[in-house]
Amino acid sequence: MKKQTDERIWKKFYDDESLNIDYPNCSIYKLLEKSAQDHLNYISYDYFGKKKTFKAFLKQINKCAKSFKRLGVQKGDYVSICMPNTPEAIISFYALNKIGAVANMIHPLSAENEIKYYLNVSESNYVVALDSAFNKINHIIDETRVKNVILVSPADSMPFFLKIGYKLTRGRKTNIEYNKCIIKWRKFMRLSLRYWGEIKDDFDGDETAVVLYSGGTTGDPKGIMLSNYNFNSGALQSFYACGKLEAGDKCLAILPIFHAFGLGVCIHTVQYFGGTSILIPQFDAKEFDNLLKKYKPNIIIGVPTLYEAFLKNEEINQMDLSFLKLLISGGDTLSISLKKKVDDFLHEHGAVNIQVREGYGLTESSGASCLTPYYDYRAGSIGIPYPGTLYKIVKHGTNREVKHGKEGEIAICGPSVMQGYLKDPEQTNKVLKPDKEGRIWLHTGDMGSMDDEGFVYFKNRLKRMIVSSGYNLYPQYIEGIIESHPDVLRACVIGVPHPYKVQVAKAFIVLKDGVPKNDKILDSIKELCERNLARYSWPHEYEFRDKLPKTLIGKIAYTKLEEEEKKKRDNEI
């Protein structure tokens, strides 16, 4: 049997240019700048109708970089960005890269203890934060190294009338606790006027550029270090794998920038080829039709639940969708039936030459690394590897490949594979393993197979994980929080079906002897979860049990609970 990795059997789906990409050994900012010089008058981003050209975007980045330098940020420093998709967030990201600092990306809905961990593990001295997230930061700031928080309102970059409307409605509900460490965004940007030094942006591609957080391949929260080279390679490969994209194409940037797919594809890839990133700080499925009518995007990238909302929106059913060029689904498995429904819908509404294309990847591989070809499809497949990335299916725990069609663990090798986990060499060594040729393989913890044409099929995950609206929830982590409650003996968390989010977390709880099962105890457990878990990972349901099912060796049999829930819900239908 020949090695799959030597064959690159999927290469027939790419042209020679795609298969021989020259990955630049430069900073992320430098790649953006080079592209921007070729597209100075094209629109870089659009935020609620307020547009900036690439020329204006570069000026904003340069001004922000000077402000960071004036504040004291140096090459190699970690600066946290706790923001949704706003202009200030992407300006800060590229500005930090321009001066050689590392962008530490944090979900604004993270719980206080999670934010404290992210700030401390990165040793961040500065944070760019959404105003509504500040109070959580303020509560733990004395336990961190943070000197200043640069505060941003979603309204800061809105058009004038929208800004007024926001401040009179949602903005009024944001009550910010006072702390002298706060610097408002406008005041921060004025610091650039007092910086006269030169900023070098010729940093080596191998230097760490960004840290994104996920559960890693083991389910425990980890910071994933990506270099300039990793991130730039991911952007170039995404561009070539997507095909038929050109300067001026507009991408609906719904996926958040603290997500590898969102930052790497919706922002950096789009900026690389001169496209427009339409920044959506908070997506509302009910407004999906209005987004399509207003922006007429050429590219939509989202999780399967996005496409469920797409089909359910009656207003979209009345629209001509011929402006669409590319639809990608990632973050969770796209069912064969949902894909067929979306494809049929597209063809019936003017988008006759496209299909929704399923992608696969991990934060550890800078986001996407596998995608359905433009004109081809295999039922149940997650596509073919990116042109410069190698995939192989191995027997779990080894580097030994299995035959085509046989199930094993998915392993990935390529220029976008991470540097490692931040301050966690032990876990890094568990998932990054060299082969005899010295190539480094990322062992994903995902089981799958590959056919004799190179199409990859995802089967299941070795680790326990719940995927809810594209977010990864880790049951063991949630269980640990619940079990820290003084009245809880044991807890088990599983995923249960949800009409829109696909799955949500349900917690089964055994209380200590003598503790009553009442609303007061339940409310205190909920409060504990809401204080220590990101909002998207809060259990949707709670159930008290006298005991939990066990395996023969005494472990909690969470699969039994999953079976019970399935039977119960089947009976309800």
User: What would the pLDDT profile of 403-461 be if each residue is shown by its tens digit?
Assistant: 999 989 999 999 999 999 999 999 999 999 998 888 999 999 888 899 999 999 988 77
Q: Which residue has the tokens 């998709």?
A: 85
Tokens of 398: 């080894």
User: What would the pLDDT profile of 391-406 be if each residue is shown by its tens digit?
Assistant: 999 988 788 899 999 9
Sign of the C-alpha dihedral computed for residues 98, 224, 242 and 434 taken in this order: positive
User: What would the pLDDT profile of 514-539 be if each residue is shown by its tens digit?
Assistant: 899 999 999 999 999 999 898 888 99
Identify whether the C-beta of residue 273 lies closer than 8 Å to the C-beta of residue 246. Answer: yes
Sign of the C-alpha dihedral computed for residues 88, 89, 91 and 95 taken in this order: positive
Residue count of the chain, please give it.
Answer: 573
pLDDT the model gives residue 2: 36
Separation of alpha carbons 140 and 531, rounded Å: 12
The DSSP symbol for 262 reads I
pLDDT the model gives residue 345: 94
Separation of alpha carbons 370 and 389, rounded Å: 8
Separation of alpha carbons 339 and 359, rounded Å: 12
Enumerate residue ranges in the chain where pLDDT < 70. 1-7, 215-220, 462, 551-555, 572-573
Give, in order, the Cα–Cα distances in Å from 256 to each of 156, 253, 558.
Answer: 18, 7, 31
pTM as predicted: 0.85
Tokens of 334: 């796209």
Domains and CATH numbers, the chain: 26-203 (3.40.50.980), 466-572 (3.30.300.30)
Strand segments (E) across 203-329: 208-214, 222-227, 250-253, 276-279, 299-302, 326-329
385 sits in which H/E element: strand 384-385
Identify whether the C-beta of residue 472 lies closer than 8 Å to the C-beta of residue 303. Answer: no
Q: Per-residue DSSP letters for 466-511?
A: EEETTEEE-HHHHHHHHHTSTTEEEEEEEEEEETTTEEEEEEEEEE
pLDDT the model gives residue 416: 96
User: What would the pLDDT profile of 44-102 be if each residue is shown by its tens digit?
Assistant: 999 999 999 999 999 999 999 999 999 999 999 999 999 999 999 999 999 999 999 99
3-state secondary structure of 234: helix
Separation of alpha carbons 233 and 205, rounded Å: 10
Give, in order, the Cα–Cα distances in Å from 236 to each of 44, 203, 220, 270.
Answer: 17, 19, 30, 10
Separation of alpha carbons 96 and 444, rounded Å: 30
Instruction: Give burial (CB, 10 Å; 0-12/13-18/19+) of 37.
Output: exposed
Separation of alpha carbons 33 and 415, rounded Å: 21
Instruction: Give burial (CB, 10 Å; 0-12/13-18/19+) of 199.
Output: middle
